[in-house]
Structure 1
Amino acid sequence: MNVIIVSDTHMPRMAKQLPEVLRNELRGADLIIHLGDWKTKQVYEELKSFAPVTGVYGNVDEAFFIEQFNDKLVLDMESHRIGITHGHGKGKTTEQRVIAQFENEDVEIILFGHSHFPLHKEYEGRILFNPGSPTDKRKQSHYSFGKLSVVRNQPLCIEHVFFLKK
């Protein structure tokens, strides 16, 4: 499965449309995971025109997302368990919050957003991955999103796609 991972799109405030480099990748997606702070339903509608969409809500999302999605999700995909959350909350860092949120879950990878800071590291045998944002890079040098390849009984393969808008 070819999975595209996005977070913190904050549309339409930060962008009127998804960047072309992201839309090109979405055309080949089997699944799209959004990690929250979609902002408006328009983002969901655009994403689902490319592939099935799942995800979680973030701290700035409208009621539609809170009604349709949870703040935490565990996906079983091709013999892999994937933890998904936005990462907002009080106290601790975003990374510390997501680790605590999945402390008692048997997941190989934790996907999260909120900070807009791309991250890919291992922590206690799990992969922690934040795709950054394709529309609101804040202090980062590049915009970004993630690509995940999921194959039964094979290690997960995840990477960032970094880009600058033209």
Structure 2
Amino acid sequence: MRILILSDTHMPMKSKQLPGVFLNEMNGCDLIIHAGDWQSIELYHELKECAPVEGVYGNTDSDELRAILKGKILLEIEGYKIGVVHGHGRGKTTEKRCIEAFDDEEVDAIIFGHSHIPVKKLHNGVILFNPGSPTDKRRQPNYSFGILEITDELKFNHVFFDSKE
């Protein structure tokens, strides 16, 4: 199974379209996960034309998105439990807020966004993964998104690129 992971697209404010490198990867993907800050519902509908979509809302998302998405979801995919949350809130770091969001649940991985900072690390046996942003890199050297390949294990990787065209 091949899953594309993105967050913090902030469309159409930060970009009118998804970058070509992301669009190329959409061919043949089995699922798309968005960890919030879509900004408008049009992107949700655009992604659903290419593959099934799972996602959560973030702190900048429209009321339309908040009406159809939750703030936190737990996906079970091929026997793995994957939590998805945006990560916004007060106090603590984004990572700590995301870990605490799933304190009462057994998860294999947590996908989150909000900081626009790509992260892939292990915390107490749980994979923490932030794909970064494909359209708003802020102070990061590159734009980015993630690919999760599920075989006999979870294989998270970032795709880094220089231009959001």
TM-score range, shorter chain: over 0.9
> Aligned residue for 2:32?
32
> Aligned residue for 1:116?
116
> Aligned residue for 2:105?
105
Task: Give the alignment's Cα RMSD to 1 decimal.
Answer: 0.8
**After superposition, where does 1:64-143 map in structure 2 within 5 Å?**
64-143=64-143
Partner SS state of residue 75, structure 2: strand
- Find out whether 1:163 has 2:157 as its counterpart: no
Cα distance in structure 2, aligned partners of 1:104 and 1:45 = 32
Cα distance in structure 2, aligned partners of 1:88 and 1:26 = 27
Matched positions, count: 164
Partner SS state of residue 43, structure 1: helix
Cα distance in structure 2, aligned partners of 1:164 and 1:29 = 22
- Find out whether 1:18 has 2:42 as its counterpart: no
Q: CA deviation at 1:103?
A: 1.1
Cα distance in structure 2, aligned partners of 1:140 and 1:46 = 26
Cα distance in structure 2, aligned partners of 1:89 and 1:46 = 28
Cα distance in structure 1, aligned partners of 2:159 and 2:115 = 17
Q: Percent identity?
A: 54
What runs of 5+ residues in structure 1 fail to find an aligned partner?
A: none
> Aligned residue for 1:58?
58
Q: CA deviation at 1:51?
A: 0.5
Partner SS state of residue 89, structure 2: coil
Q: CA deviation at 1:141?
A: 0.4
Cα distance in structure 1, aligned partners of 2:34 and 2:43 = 10
Cα distance in structure 2, aligned partners of 1:121 and 1:131 = 12
Cα distance in structure 2, aligned partners of 1:42 and 1:87 = 22
> Residues 58-114 of structure 1, C-alpha deviation per residue, up to 9 Å, x if partnerless?
000001111111111000000100010000011101001001111111100000000
TM-score with structure 1 setting the length: 0.97
